[in-house]
């Protein structure tokens, strides 16, 4: 073995590799550029070839023959037995976790969705004074009309509308809004980016909720 390389260990990683391809690879590995291989080297090559063939046969047999007492299954049959794919999250153990559908909104919440959308429409028209009246008295004491108008004029949001409202038993309501944010690009112009917003409103005995500044 002093003039020859030690025979490497062969690991079959591709189950679809045919026996003919294995023999060709072994021939290249042990006989190419070795005109006078020793007997020990040839023994290693033969043992490696037999081991590789046994692994291929065993893998093929495991794929086509099922466990004792069970019918044989193939990959196609296994795929056919799987349930249809449905959206949802998957837990650590593999179970599909589907979020429950949102509950139906109450009449109060539906009215609040319309009120929040109306306020945003007033801002889009530039009627900041009318939109300012939707704030609660405490919020108006914190934020002046001039500051509110300045913020509205600088905003790049477009097509803002409320989509859902959820109120708790204390009358505190969370309103979800969707909008298009505008990003200015020098080469391609303005790009619209979908944005989700959250507002907090407080229900009033009169039925008209008021917006809280956060």
Listed in order, strand segments (DSSP E) in 31-141 are 89-90, 96-97
Q: Measured between alpha carbons, how far is 157 from 46 in angstroms, rounded to an integer?
A: 74
Q: What is the 3-state secondary structure (H, E, C) of 186-211?
A: CCCEEEEEEEEEEEEEECCCCCCCEE
In sequence order, the β-bridge partners of residue 158 are 180
8 Å CB contact between 114 and 154: no
Quick one: pLDDT at residue 130? Answer: 97
Quick one: pLDDT at residue 189? Answer: 74
Digitized pLDDT (tens) for each residue of the chain, 214 residues in all: 444 444 444 444 444 445 556 556 655 655 554 555 555 555 555 656 556 566 655 555 555 445 455 555 555 554 555 555 445 555 555 566 666 677 899 999 999 999 999 999 999 999 999 999 999 999 999 999 999 999 999 888 899 999 999 999 999 999 999 999 888 777 777 778 899 999 999 998 877 899 999 8
8 Å CB contact between 17 and 59: no
Quick one: pLDDT at residue 171? Answer: 92
8 Å CB contact between 99 and 91: no
Beta-strand pair 172-185/189-202: antiparallel
The model's pTM: 0.52
All structural domains of the chain: 19-87 (no CATH), 107-211 (3.10.450.100)
Dihedral of alpha carbons 12, 18, 23, 26, sign: negative
Q: Measured between alpha carbons, how far is 44 from 173 in angstroms, rounded to an integer?
A: 77
Length of the chain: 214
């Amino acid at each position: 073995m002093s003039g020859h390389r030690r025979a490497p260990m062969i690991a079959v990683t591709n189950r679809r590799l045919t026996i003919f391809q294995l023999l060709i690879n072994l021939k290249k590995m042990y006989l190419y550029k070795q005109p006078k291989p020793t007997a020990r080297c040839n023994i290693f090559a033969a043992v490696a070839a037999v081991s590789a063939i046994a692994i291929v046969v065993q893998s093929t047999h495991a794929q086509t023959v099922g466990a004792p007492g069970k019918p044989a299954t193939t990959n196609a049959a296994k795929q056919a037995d799987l349930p249809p794919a449905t959206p949802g999250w998957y837990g650590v153990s593999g179970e599909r976790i589907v979020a429950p559908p949102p509950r139906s909104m109450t009449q109060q919440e539906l009215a609040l969705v319309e009120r929040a959308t109306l306020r945003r429409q007033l801002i889009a028209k530039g009627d900041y004074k009318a939109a300012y009246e939707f704030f609660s008295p405490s919020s108006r004491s914190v934020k002046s009309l001039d500051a509110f108008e300045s913020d509205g004029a600088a905003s790049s949001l477009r097509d803002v509308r409320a989509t859902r409202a959820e109120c708790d038993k204390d009358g505190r309501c969370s309103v979800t809004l969707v909008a298009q944010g505008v990003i200015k690009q020098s080469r391609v112009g303005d790009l619209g980016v979908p944005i989700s917003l959250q507002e907090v409103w407080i229900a009033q005995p009169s039925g008209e909720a008021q917006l809280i500044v956060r």
